Structures are given as structure tokens and as C-alpha cells.
Structure 1
Amino acid sequence: MDIHNKIPRGWRIYAQIFLILFTMITLLPLIWMLYSSFKLQGEIMLFPMSLPKEPTIRNYLQAWEIGNMGQSFINSVIYAGVGTGITVFLAIAASYALTKFGYKSSKIYYSIFALGLLITVNSVIAPLFILETRIGLYNTRLGVILPYVTFGLPMAILLACSYIKGIPDSLIEAAIIDGANYLQIFWKLILILSTPVVATIAILSFLRNWNEFVLVFILTSGQHMRSLPVSINSFAGRLNQDYGMQFAALTIGTLPMILFYIGAHNMIIKGFGEGALKE
């Protein structure tokens, strides 16, 4: 019997109303931000909720130039892309070793990685800043990417371990009998079979890295090293009240993530359904 037939009609109506209201609450501010970005400051102040009478792209041109958002966009792509790639590779490699090598210490290392979920960026940002300053990583891309990888690994390893643990040992044993070593098994077997969880980790890590603010804000000082979230933050303040420019900057930073999620949300669902929650 279809599970929907087991749910009372009244509850289904309430659920649909709730989802519609939740969608409206989520989308309306984004829509307001989008069309307000095409309005000049005076029109926003006089008619904040109305559609633009004379749409203009002036806000986007000024935001792009004043906020140096072209360079910030490139930095965000580098930080998020490289950090995600390293995180995925290390997570799959570590999970392969933790689940398939049979070491007695594997449970200890797994627990240590799990404890990493309890460590937040805010709790270690001060010593991290001092450390990077002393070893020469402050205000460098490497100094941003390494913390990205560090804070992303715990969750990535937990997801990868849950999936790789479900890969039959008989496949690995058959590959060993055929003459493959552990490195060949990793590249030609584990990575291929782990595609769903690799996609899940990659998408979640990329979204997290793209939206990260504190690490870049604290660990960089030059404008040429800033990411999009930090550049957007520079438009907000007592000395800058050009809301049209702020909305344009927010749209530039938000739109890529919305498009990315629209294109990748099916992969996220598939990855969780087929891999990340596999026992």
C-alpha cells in the first residue's frame, strides 16, 4: 500500500500548507533582494517593496568594481575548489584504511576523527591565527585552504566510512588474488564504487567552503586575498548605506550557490540515500 494513503487527509493538507508557507518565507526575501538590486538608493528608500520603475545595472557595475569582486570570485573558486578536492581525496583514503585494513587501532583513530566534529572554528581561531602568523602562512591561500580541509574532514570521513564499510570484502580479496596492491585497489575499485558518497562529500564541502566567512576574514588582510563573503561584508557598515549596491553584491554572492544547488541537489539526495547512510 502506498504510504501516502496511510496518512490522514487532514494531516496531508496541513503539511502542504506548511511547506507552501515555508517556501514563501524562504523565497520572498531572495526575490525582494534580487529586484531591489536593480533600484537606485533613492527609490529603495521611498518605495522599498515596489518593483523597480527604471531598472538599472549600475549597482552591479559599482559593486563589482568597488568591492573588487572579480578577484574575490576567483579566490572563492580556488578556496572552495582546492579545499573540496583535498578533503574528498583524504576522506576516501582515510576511510579505506580505517574500514578495510583491519588495524586494531582503527576504532581509536575513527573516534578521534569523530571528536573533531566538536571543535568549532570560533574556539580555535585565536591560536590558529597566532600559529599561521609565526610559520608564515598568514595572508596566503594555503593558510586558508588547510583549515578548510581540517574542519571538513571529520564529517567527510564519517560519511565515507559508513559507505566504504558496506563494500564487500570479497571484492577486495578477489582483486588481491588477481595481483592488485592496495594502492591499485584504491584507485580502480574503491573510488569507482564510492562515487555516490564522493559526490555527496564534494557538494557539501564545496557549499560549506564557498559560504565560509570567519577563516578568510581573520587569516587574510589584503583585499586581493578576500573571498566573496568577506568582500560582500565590506559593503555593510555605518559609512556605507548604499542599499542598492549591497543588494547587488549579495546577489552576486548568492546566485552562484543557488544555481549550483539547483543543479546538484539530486546528487545530494542520491548520495545520502545510496551511500552516506548505507550500513
Structure 2
Amino acid sequence: MKPTTRVAIQGIKASFHEEAAFKFFGKDIETIECNSFKQTCDRLVKDEADFVIMAIENSIAGSLLPNYTLIREYNFSVTGEVYLPIQLHLMALPGVKFEDIKFATSHPIAIRQCVDFFDDYPHIQVIESNDTAACAKKIRDEQLTDTVAIANTLAAELYGLNIIERRIESNKKNYTRFLILEKEKKESPKEINKASICFQVGNHVGALSKVLNLFAELNVNLTKIQSMPVLGKRNEYYFYVDMEWTNLENYDTAIRKALKYTVNFNIIGEYPKNDKV
């Protein structure tokens, strides 16, 4: 009998992280609930999980910068990605009407994605919490009749809440990109056409452009560049770059050439592109 895949998520069951895990792995998985992204990493290190699924960027809120640092410091390998449309609903206990609502609670990023909605209802006090699904669970556990959660359909179903207002996110094309992390790099799948790398360059004119031009010359498309300061070092940065290619040989050549002009170069992961929302 094949063992169940264990996936560590930040948050609890029915959170967006679990929804993303279902989308990538299917529903036949064991979800390992964690209070923080660091805790997901610790569970993977201790072999208490087979994978971590970690949000890395949102189309409205931007990059989750601390997560780049975690991936680098734990030296995990990125072995996949998944994009999840973020659809946010207001949910309450059965029987609660919209006019009964005094409080709305959710994760700060989810709240930020619904500011236009709450601008129209200034009497509703918005309260930040650490997890969307946990807010839904709290309403059920404490039978709160004056509070709504902002969460996904999965949370409403699992915690027995009614959706009283659908799709309250400001941007209906809102999505989050999640990375699939493993403790050690397995053999790369044959169909790899995307990679995530990290490096530093010298602090002089043209240092970064020299590296980026190498990829352009070999027709390797850079889809994202993210800089992060090196802790305690002035004017030193890590550059995190995602790239795609159609010719694997070109990518290999570009990487070899880039090594000459960079320091602390690290291929964080090579994996199949998976950008369907």
C-alpha cells in the first residue's frame, strides 16, 4: 500500500494553502497543519512531512519576502509550482444576516485584497488574524453571531458556515503562486522548463546587467527578479530569479556562463512550468 503524501501547510485545514495542496497533489494527502512558515520548514527537516507548500507571491499583495529567506536558509529544493485563484467570500453562522455584522476577521493579506468592499461598510470593524480558515473555525467554535470571516469555499463547507456575500475581493483576477519544496533535490523530471536561482554580484556598474544579458543572449526568458538585502551588509543583495526556456541546452550554457560573474550562486530548483490559474 502506497504511503499517503504528507504536505506541511501554514495554517489549518481549508486554508488557501490546503486548497493549493489539493490542486497540486490531489485530495488523497495528509495535511500537516503549522502555525508559521518556519514551522512548516522545521517539520520537513525532521522528516515529519514529505513536502512543504509555500505561498511566494500574490498578484495584489506582491512577494512574501521572508519566504525567500527561509527557502535559502533551509537549503530546500523547489520541485514544482501551482497558481491558485483567490476567491474571497464573507461567511457567517447559519441564520446570521448582513445587518447583524459588527466584525469581519481574516488574514491581513486577505483583508488588503478586499479594501474596496469594506470602504462601503465603515461600520464593520475589520480585525486581523493569522489564518483565513482559522477565522471561520473560530466563528463556529465560539458561535459568534456578530462576526464574519473572509475565507474560501472550502472553509465554509468544512466549518458549516453560510456564505452571505460572494467574491468580495477587489480584483477578480487575483491569484497566489505557491512553491512545492522538498528537503533534498531529487532527480529532475525530464520535462523541466523552469528554474529558480539565487546569486549575488559585485557592487559596480553593470554587474547585474552583465548576468541578465547572458540569459537574454541565449533566449532564456526571465519571468521574475526579486532582490533581498544581505543581512548586516550595506549595498549587498541576493537576487532571486525565475526563468523559463524552450531549449534546455541554452539554459545549461547560460548557467555555466553566469557562474563566472556571480558569487554564492545557487540553483534553488528546476521544475516543470505550471502557471495555469
With normalisation by structure 2, the TM-score equals: 0.23
In our comparison, the structure showing a higher alpha carbon Rg is 1
Greater helix percent: which structure? 1
With normalisation by structure 1, the TM-score equals: 0.23
More RCO (CA 8 Å, sep 6+): 1
Greater strand percent: which structure? 2
